[in-house]
Amino acid sequence: NMSIPEEEKEINQIICVTARLIELYYVKYIHKTPCMNDHQTGNIWLMGVLQGNESRCHNMFRMDKDVFTRLCDELQNNYGLKGSRRMSAAEMLGMFLNILGHGSANRQAQDRFQHSGETVSRYFSILLDVVCRLAVDVIKPLENAFTNTPKEILQDSRYMPHFKDCIGAIDGVHVQAVVSPSNQIPFIGRKGIPTQNVMAACNFDMQFIFACAGWEGTAHDTRIFLSALRDQSLHFPKPPNGKFYLVDAGYPQMRGYLGPYKGERYHLPDFRRGVQPMGHKE
């Protein structure tokens, strides 16, 4: 049999443990300190940016205030973007552009816009779907764009008549990508960091008419190019007979796609250093 002091000691221990558990439960579930308690909510911050200096909007969202407003209206009027009780359509767009423009993590967006991680992820996905549908409608050639010689060619004696049938240029660019460590290896190419190899085509009015994103940084330009030609779902704007794109040395030489002579310099920085072209091929 335990002595009375030992029984009291055990009871006291049980009381102390129970009291501590009650305290932890109270702090965690009853008297919780809100995580997002900043008085400057995401919407207030957004309005401050849109009503402030033009450069601040460009720094935060990578576009001017007028462009932001028109884009928001376009997405609401034609692509089904709707605000919710928690977040306005403008704040959704601002959060989406801020994350993309700065490569922000979910936690950073939580703190900036004062929303939970689940809310940030959900509305980011909604905006991603809406903007991708917009891209299908705007990243394409204008109707009959390949019929006539672009005025940028016609009005420049350096290009006319040699490039009168040229309809644009195609090139690839490596864009830094945020990839989970377990999936990074295929994305780490010659840049030494995870990237996507994005292929794009533009016309002489400096408008994108095609873009293909998502390829790993290790993917070769030729592989991406040939895939774009073969995949009918991508709707690559192929050149009509007699027309051609300009491409760099990373792409195959084939009808409709004119590249530089193999082994010759063709990048503008090579000639901006003061070295004159050598030979008729350059």
DSSP states along 224-238: HHHHHHH-GGG---P
**pLDDT grade for 276, boundaries at 50, 70 and 90:** confident
**pLDDT grade for 24, boundaries at 50, 70 and 90:** confident
3-state secondary structure 179-204: CCHHHCHHHECCCCCEEEEEEEEECC
**pLDDT grade for 31, boundaries at 50, 70 and 90:** low
* Two structure tokens written together for 261: 């002579």
Q: What is the pLDDT of residue 21?
A: 86
Mean pLDDT of 21-34: 73
Q: What is the pLDDT of residues 113-143, one digit of tens each?
A: 989 899 999 999 999 999 999 999 999 998 7
Please indicate whether residue 268 or residue 166 has the higher confidence score (pLDDT). Answer: 166
Strand order in the sheet with 166-176: 208-216, 195-202, 166-176, 244-246, 257-258
Distance CA 183, CA 177 (A): 11
- Using alpha carbons, list the distances in angstroms from residue 87 to 92, 122, 149: 7, 11, 47
* Two structure tokens written together for 25: 């439960």
Cα–Cα–Cα angle for 166, 220, 280, rounded to 5 degrees: 45
**Contact predicate 16/10, CB 8 Å:** no
* Residue carrying structure tokens 């460009």: 58
Asked whether residue 150 carries a pLDDT value surpassing 90, the answer given is no
